[in-house]
């Protein structure tokens, strides 16, 4: 596996040409996006896509996101009614390129394994803004199918080092483009538009529910932070039914109000636990003063949830590296990007405890 440093804002043309060549001949390239690192393959090459599934250990019924550079490319692979087309146009104007994925009806001929859902005729598409992601799509001349570049179930990678951590023993990835830490830190918002006249949020992200409602009006919510991971029957988004984002040690998410009560509860539990790791916030750090043996990290300032989102996965991975045996994480307010943070934490948790 070749790890190549690239300038995130002005990626080197010759490196990108080489990476594009790898994709074109069916190889896998890990690359930065504005959300998390993706593990990219030519979406129309079933052998290449199969290697992505194998490398990640990803369940075969969980489809991948297709990355394109503009709406014209999107229209080549999707079948849009006049109404949906106008919604896509409004969303594109407001949020693309950027961290938004749309689930749309696919064209009949777009039928590779990257889109296999077993349940419907849809495809998830996104137009990323990260210059390296965009340059890779252009250089390859392909549509790039890319899940997050982590082993299935682990926290998504927000740095190239995380990708190397997960795949150093694997021969499946030919190249990693290291463009530094990603900006959002959480995966894209996934919005389902495949049913005429119905807009459903499947995965919260940096494009928040409030932002979406401002553009398209009514949006139903499936995967809001308060929703259970298990959906009755077939999940709308196959990724919803699996435990995700999880570090090795069992993670306990403590929620409630006020935040000092959360921290006090964690203190109580950590005192009776071996090698506890604690994810605190600026506002509560002083409460942990009497816990010398714990590994206490500050996720960030509750007043700056964007920064907490950016660092969340890297903090969770850090606990793995430290070998902690139990993890306590403070819940945050579930509005704006906080909804996405809590969505990931609920899926990573073995138990959510309300104080």
Contact residues for ligand TXA, defined by CB under 6 A: 33, 35-36, 38, 62-65, 99, 101, 103, 117, 122-124, 126, 146-148, 187-188, 190, 202-203, 237-239
Dist CA 100 CA 92 (whole Å):
9
Which range binds Mg ion by CB under 5 A, 2-10, 19-27, 145-153, 322-330?
A: 145-153
- By CB under 5 A, is residue 148 in contact with Mg ion? yes
Q: Which residues contact 102 (CB under 8 A, 6 or more apart)?
A: 88, 91, 124, 125, 126, 190, 191, 192, 193
- Is the separation of the CB atoms in 36 and 42 below 8 Å? no
Of 159 and 237, the one with the shorter C-beta distance to ligand TXA is 237
Cβ 151 to Mg ion, closest distance in Å?
10
Cβ closest to ligand TXA, residue 158 vs residue 284? 158
Min CB(163)–Mg ion separation in Å: 12
Task: Kindly give, in sequence order, each residue whose CB lies less than 8 Å from that of residue 319, ignoring residues fewer than 6 positions away.
Answer: 247, 248, 249, 277, 295, 327
Sign of CA dihedral 215, 220, 223, 225: positive
> Which option in ligand TXA, Mg ion, none does residue 190 bind, with CB closer than 5 to 8 A by kind?
ligand TXA
In the list Mg ion, ligand TXA, none, the entry touching 65 (Cβ below 5 to 8 angstroms by class) is ligand TXA
338 binds, among Mg ion, ligand TXA, none (CB under 5 to 8 A by kind): none
Closer to ligand TXA by CB, 132 or 202: give it. Answer: 202
CB of 50 to Mg ion, least distance (A): 17
Stretch that binds Mg ion, among 117-125, 148-156, 316-324, 329-337 (CB under 5 A): 148-156
Nearer to Mg ion, 122 or 148 (CB): 148
Stretch of 62-70, 140-148, 206-214, 261-269 lying at the interface with Mg ion (CB under 5 A): 140-148
Q: What are the C-alpha distances in Å from 266 to residues 240, 273, 316, 347?
A: 28, 10, 17, 19
Residues 6+ apart with CB under 8 A from 271: 291
Q: If DSSP codes are grouped into helix, strand and coil, which group holds residue 352? A: strand
User: Which region among 8-16, 100-108, 143-151, 191-199 touches Mg ion (by CB under 5 A)?
Assistant: 143-151
Q: Are strands 29-32 and 65-67 parallel, antiparallel or unpaired?
A: unpaired
Long-range contacts of 261-264, Cβ-Cβ distance < 8 Å, separation of 24 or more: 261/355, 262/330, 262/331, 262/355, 263/287, 263/288, 263/330, 264/355
Residue 38 binds which one of Mg ion, ligand TXA, none, with CB within 5 to 8 A depending on kind?
Answer: ligand TXA
Pairwise CA distance, residues 286 & 168, whole Å:
39
Select the binding partner of residue 332 from ligand TXA, Mg ion, none (C-beta < 5 to 8 A, by kind): none
259: closest CA among 290, 300, 295? 300
User: Which option in Mg ion, ligand TXA, none does residue 122 bind, with CB closer than 5 to 8 A by kind?
Assistant: ligand TXA
Q: Distance (Å, rounded) from C-alpha 57 to C-alpha 192? A: 25
| Nearest CB to Mg ion, comparing residues 153 and 224 | 153
Nearer CB in complex with ligand TXA: 49/64: 64
Whichever of 129 and 294 has its CB closer to ligand TXA, that residue is: 129
- What SS3 state is found at 316? helix
**Cis omega (within 30 of 0) for bond into 97:** yes
Per-residue tokens: 289: 């003063």
Residue placing its CB nearer to ligand TXA in the complex, 273 or 317: 317
With CB under 5 A as the contact rule, which of the stretches 146-154, 175-183, 206-214, 261-269 interacts with Mg ion?
A: 146-154
Helix (H, G, I), strand (E, B) or coil at 140: helix
Contact footprint for Mg ion (CB under 5 A): 148
């Amino acid at each position: 596996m070749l790890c190549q440093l690239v300038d995130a804002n002005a990626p080197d043309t010759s490196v990108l040409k080489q990476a594009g060549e790898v994709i074109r001949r069916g190889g896998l390239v890990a690359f930065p996006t504005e959300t998390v690192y993706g593990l990219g393959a030519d979406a129309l090459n079933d052998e290449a896509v199969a290697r992505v599934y194998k490398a990640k250990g990803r369940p075969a019924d969980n489809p991948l996101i297709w990355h394109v550079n503009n709406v014209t490319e999107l229209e080549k692979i999707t079948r849009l009614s006049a109404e949906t087309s106008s919604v896509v146009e409004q969303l594109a104007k407001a949020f693309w390129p950027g961290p938004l994925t749309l689930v749309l009806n696919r064209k009949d001929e777009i039928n590779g394994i990257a889109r296999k859902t077993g349940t419907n005729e849809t495809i998830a598409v996104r137009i990323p803004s990260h210059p390296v992601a965009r340059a890779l799509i252009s250089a390859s001349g392909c549509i790039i199918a890319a899940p997050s570049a982590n082993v299935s179930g682990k926290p998504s990678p927000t740095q190239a080092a995380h990708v190397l951590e997960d795949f150093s023993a694997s021969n499946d990835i030919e190249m990693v483009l290291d463009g530094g830490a990603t900006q959002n830190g959480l995966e894209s918002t996934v919005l389902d538009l495949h049913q005429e006249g119905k807009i459903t949020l499947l995965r919260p992200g940096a494009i928040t529910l409030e932002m979406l409602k401002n553009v398209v009006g009514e949006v139903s919510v499936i995967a809001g932070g308060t929703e259970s991971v298990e959906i009755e029957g077939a999940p709308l988004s196959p990724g919803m039914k699996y435990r995700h984002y999880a570090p090795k040690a069992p993670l306990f998410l403590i929620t409630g109000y006020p935040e000092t009560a959360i921290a006090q509860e964690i203190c109580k539990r950590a005192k009776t636990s071996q090698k506890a790791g604690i994810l605190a916030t600026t506002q509560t750090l002083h409460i942990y003063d009497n816990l010398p043996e714990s590994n206490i990290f500050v996720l960030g300032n509750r007043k700056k949830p964007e920064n907490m989102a950016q660092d969340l996965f890297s903090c969770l991975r850090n606990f793995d590296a430290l070998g902690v045996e139990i993890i306590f994480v403070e819940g945050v307010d579930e509005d704006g990007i906080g909804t996405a943070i809590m969505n990931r934490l609920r899926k990573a948790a073995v138990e959510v405890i309300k104080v």
